[in-house]
């Protein structure tokens, strides 16, 4: 996998950059980004979230956490490269980029800066229609990209074959891990936390852990950097 511009400098510590993009609002980008960033922190990595969305949802969530990691940085796509450099220089290992919907330029810049792109998509007609634009946008960047089924019913395991066929026909790969519509995702973010912090042994926590481990496999990055911080415990 090609190195991103964020880690070409000699001695750089920023080992992985993940961008989460979708031209459709409400696809679940922010939820996925903040939960994966917390997973990275719990695995011993110094994680940073870069919030390109003018709505500042991740920035607000970071404020609710007060000083608890991961660090959240509000930025604009025009200074994304410099923001990533500053994060690297400050000791960050991994960066997750949250992007706004209906902003092709921002999504394109984020995808080009990333090592891997995640595209959350609900297994529904409108979402599958909207993902076509996102797929075209990501294809131009030549970066590895995966659609992530998000927001499906927790007890439903069927009904994904046809959506997966539609997505693969667009030239995208489909991540093997699905993120269901579970209460802990919503409950946790309302208080500046993540699902794995309020229910460490819950199903939502297991989904995120599996997604994190799969993400690490795609980038040849150890899923555990050093002794992890226990879920629910904040330094």
Kindly report, residue by residue over 119-161, the tens digit of the pLDDT.
Answer: 999 888 888 888 888 888 888 888 999 999 998 888 777 678 8
| 48/124 Cα distance (integer angstroms) | 31
| 181/221 Cα distance (integer angstroms) | 28
What's the predicted TM-score (pTM) here? 0.88
| 68/80 Cα distance (integer angstroms) | 23
> Is 52 a residue whose pLDDT tops 80?
yes
What domains does the chain contain, in order, with CATH numbers? 13-217 (3.40.50.300)
> What pLDDT does 158 receive?
67
Q: Express each pLDDT in 60-118 by its tens digit.
A: 999 999 889 999 999 999 999 999 999 999 999 999 999 988 778 999 999 999 999 99
List, as one string, the DSSP characters of 60-94. Answer: HHHHHTTTPSSEEEE--GGGHHHHHHHHHHTT-SE
| 177/52 Cα distance (integer angstroms) | 25
> What pLDDT does 228 receive?
47
> Is 235 a residue whose pLDDT tops 90?
no
Q: Express each pLDDT in 175-201 by its tens digit.
A: 999 999 999 999 999 999 999 999 999
Confidence category of residue 3, pLDDT binned at 50, 70, 90: very low
Q: Express each pLDDT in 5-48 by its tens digit.
A: 444 333 445 689 999 998 888 888 999 999 999 999 999 999 99
Residues 6+ apart with CB under 8 A from 122: 27, 28, 149, 150, 151, 152
Mean pLDDT of 53-61: 92
């Amino acid at each position: 996998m090609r190195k991103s511009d964020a880690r070409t400098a000699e001695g750089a510590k920023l080992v992985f950059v993940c961008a989460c993009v979708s031209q459709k609002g409400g696809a679940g980008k922010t939820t996925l980004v903040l939960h994966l960033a917390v997973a990275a922190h719990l695995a011993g990595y110094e994680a940073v979230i870069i919030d390109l969305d003018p709505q500042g949802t991740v920035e607000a969530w970071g404020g609710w956490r007060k000083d608890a990691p991961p660090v959240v940085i509000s930025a604009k796509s025009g200074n994304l490269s410099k923001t990533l450099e500053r994060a690297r220089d400050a000791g960050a290992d991994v960066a997750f980029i949250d992007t706004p919907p209906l902003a092709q330029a921002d999504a394109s810049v984020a995808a080009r800066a990333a090592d891997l792109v995640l595209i959350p998509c609900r297994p529904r007609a409108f979402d599958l229609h909207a993902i076509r634009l996102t797929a075209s946008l990501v294809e131009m960047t030549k970066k590895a990209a995966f659609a992530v089924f998000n927001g499906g019913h927790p007890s439903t395991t069927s009904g994904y074959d046809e959506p997966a066929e539609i997505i693969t026909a667009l030239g995208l790969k489909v991540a093997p891990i699905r993120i269901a519509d579970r209460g802990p995702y919503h409950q946790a973010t309302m208080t500046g936390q993540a699902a794995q912090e309020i229910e460490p042994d819950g199903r939502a926590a297991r989904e995120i852990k599996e997604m994190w481990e799969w993400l690490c496999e795609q980038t040849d990055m150890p899923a555990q950097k050093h002794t992890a911080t226990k879920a629910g415990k904040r330094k």
